[in-house]
Amino acid sequence: MGKDSKISIGLLGLGTIGSQVARVLLEQVDRMAQQVGRPVVLCRVAEIDQAKAQTSAVPAALITANAEELLTSPDVDIVLELIGGEHPALDYLTTAISQHKHVVTANKELMAKHGPTLISLAKRNEVHLLYEASVGGGIPIIGPLQKDLQANRITSIRAIINGTTNYILTRMSQEGLDFGTALSEAQASGYAEAHPSNDIEGFDAVYKLAILATLAFHTDVRVADIFREGISRLEARDFQYAKELGYAIKLLALARYKDDNLSLRVHPALVPQEDLIAKVDGVFNAIEINGDLVGPVLFHGQGAGPSPTCSAVVGDVLEIARGIVSGGSLIGLGAVKRNLHISPIEKLTSRYYMRLTVADRAGVLGQIANKLGTQDISIASVIQKNTNAVDQTAEIVVTTHPAAEAAMQEALAQLDGLDVLREVGNLIRIEGWS
């Protein structure tokens, strides 16, 4: 490539994000040329959906329905993958990298499941694979883990990394909405998909945590390594009781490294109200990284949406383009350097919040305390809430001192055998490393 030649971009996908990226690439040609020192030009777009192709701002002459045409073209220097999902994205990126093309992707599922493999392939082909937009939308987090924080031994990650669930939980907390109503409101506002299980059951957060943990701890974290619970069991009363106890409820992605063991989990958690991460509301995300040198660092901002994600994608494009022009190498791609033991959820020690419906009669608390005591679980507080005179039941909220997860699960099984127990309404971990 001559020093005055352009840098050509091929784009896969004209969905919400792809259309925004295409618009920026087409409208900001002069500004990007000034930043890079050479024209950066969108030269080809692959989109099989004719409706998306026809309604986009991309000239029809640039659009093809044949992705292979873009992937194998010698005129394309950088491929942007914005179609999402595992397949056919994996085949597309494998082809692009094998054709010695640089790649930018926003695909969290792909990078969570196949990131180390694709990174190794990129290294062998001496091309760059950047994926800042795969976690946190416009929040810069992948780059800092690869560059600014690399002198640190990362000890923990604590994050709110799904805007949909954070919006739902915020509405349930602030307005007292039930889960179904809050979800419907999120869908009507465009914050939740028509089929939202990927978000509300925690899969999206798991993908993102796998990416972050692989980078932070230099190990190959698999999606299956991460314990997962979604938010669909939460009820408005849980938020009310949590608030009375001094907590907020958040869907957290948590990773902790200690004694060559790595604990990885995504689940709802009670977080002290004075904690900064408890104050992250709406569709915003926050990622707290704790390093041995820098201490805790909090990254906060819009974690999703066309504009923030576009910001990260185009930023990666410009970084690769500047590298091409300068002839220099980019930052390391986050090589896996060690194999850490993944600690199972049963090994977790945590405090717990339990909401129970029980028979409204004397001696009930003693029976519950006895079952917990047999598993060495100490009660921190008990609050009696609603009483139903018709059913002759009462609702109680129990919090515990730190206890082993395995012991808590065994205690729940034993509680289930009590004739005074009508229902375990919820069990939520209280956030805090022990």
In the set 101, 108, 208, 371, the catalytic residue is 208
Instruction: Mark which of 303, 338, 359 sits at the end of a domain.
Output: 303
Q: Are residue 265 and residue 375 in the same domain, yes or no?
A: no
Contacts of 44 (CB under 8 A, 6+ apart): 8, 9, 10, 11, 62, 64, 69, 70, 73, 75, 76
Name which of 200, 166, 198 is nearest 180 in CA terms.
200
Q: Are residue 36 and residue 164 in the same domain, yes or no?
A: no
Q: Are residue 228 and residue 79 in the same domain, yes or no?
A: no
Name which of 429, 423, 410, 416 is nearest 367 in CA terms.
416
- Tell whether 389 is covered by a domain: yes
DSSP helix/strand/coil, 237: helix
Q: Are residue 14 and residue 79 in the same domain, yes or no?
A: yes
Q: How far apart are CA 14 and CA 53, in angstroms?
A: 7
Q: Are residue 155 and residue 88 in the same domain, yes or no?
A: no
Please tell me the total count of domains within the chain.
3
Residue 312, pLDDT score: 96
Q: How far apart are CA 278 and CA 352, in angstroms?
A: 17
Q: Are residue 78 and residue 172 in the same domain, yes or no?
A: no
Q: Are residue 412 and residue 318 in the same domain, yes or no?
A: no
pLDDT beneath 70: ranges in the chain: 1-4, 329-338, 432-434
What phi, psi does 244 have (nearest 5°)? -65, -30
Instruction: Mark which of 326, 359, 393 sits at the end of a domain.
Output: 326
- Tell whether 333 is covered by a domain: no
Name which of 154, 387, 129, 165 is nearest 268 in CA terms.
165
Q: How far apart are CA 253 and CA 421, in angstroms?
A: 32
- Tell whether 243 is covered by a domain: yes
66-102 tens-digit pLDDT: 999 999 999 999 999 999 999 999 999 999 999 999 9
Give the chain's mean pLDDT: 94
Beta-strand runs (E) in 306-348: 341-343
Q: How far apart are CA 320 and CA 323, in angstroms?
A: 5
Q: How far apart are CA 143 and CA 140, in angstroms?
A: 6
Structural contact between residues 157 and 142, judged by C-beta atoms closer than 8 angstroms: no
Q: Are residue 210 and residue 291 in the same domain, yes or no?
A: yes
Contacts of 120 (CB under 8 A, 6+ apart): none
Residue 3, pLDDT score: 47
- Tell whether 339 is covered by a domain: no
Q: Which amino acid is at 109?
A: E
Query: The CATH number of the domain where 256 resides is what?
Result: 3.30.360.10
Residue 335, pLDDT score: 54
144-170 tens-digit pLDDT: 999 999 999 999 999 999 999 999 999
- Tell whether 244 is covered by a domain: yes
Q: Are residue 147 and residue 61 in the same domain, yes or no?
A: no
Contacts of 87 (CB under 8 A, 6+ apart): none
Q: Which domain holds residue 74?
A: 7-137+306-326
Q: How far is CA 116 from CA 130, 178, 333, 353, in A?
A: 12, 40, 9, 38
Q: Tell me the percentage of the chain whose pLDDT exceeds 90.
A: 88
Tokens of 54: 């026809």
Q: Are residue 379 and residue 315 in the same domain, yes or no?
A: no
- Burial of residue 73, with CB atoms counted within 10 A of its CB: 0-12 exposed, 13-18 middle, 19 or more buried: middle
- Tell whether 280 is covered by a domain: yes
Q: How far apart are CA 368 and CA 419, in angstroms?
A: 11
Instruction: Please report the DSSP string for 165-210 in residue order.
Output: HHHHHHHHHHH---HHHHHHHHHHTTSS-SS-HHHHTSHHHHHHHH
Residue 4, pLDDT score: 56
- Tell whether 337 is covered by a domain: no
Q: Are residue 133 and residue 162 in the same domain, yes or no?
A: no
Q: Are residue 318 and residue 351 in the same domain, yes or no?
A: no
4-24 tens-digit pLDDT: 589 999 999 999 999 999 999
Q: How many residues does the chain have?
A: 434
What phi, psi does 342 have (nearest 5°)? -90, 120
- Burial of residue 218, with CB atoms counted within 10 A of its CB: 0-12 exposed, 13-18 middle, 19 or more buried: middle
311-353 tens-digit pLDDT: 999 999 999 999 999 887 655 555 556 688 999 999 999 999 9
What phi, psi does 271 have (nearest 5°)? -125, 130
What phi, psi does 41 have (nearest 5°)? -125, 130
Catalytic site residue 208?
yes
Query: The CATH number of the domain where 397 resides is what?
Result: 3.30.70.260
Query: The CATH number of the domain where 28 resides is what?
Result: 3.40.50.720
Distance, first Cα to last Cα, the chain: 56
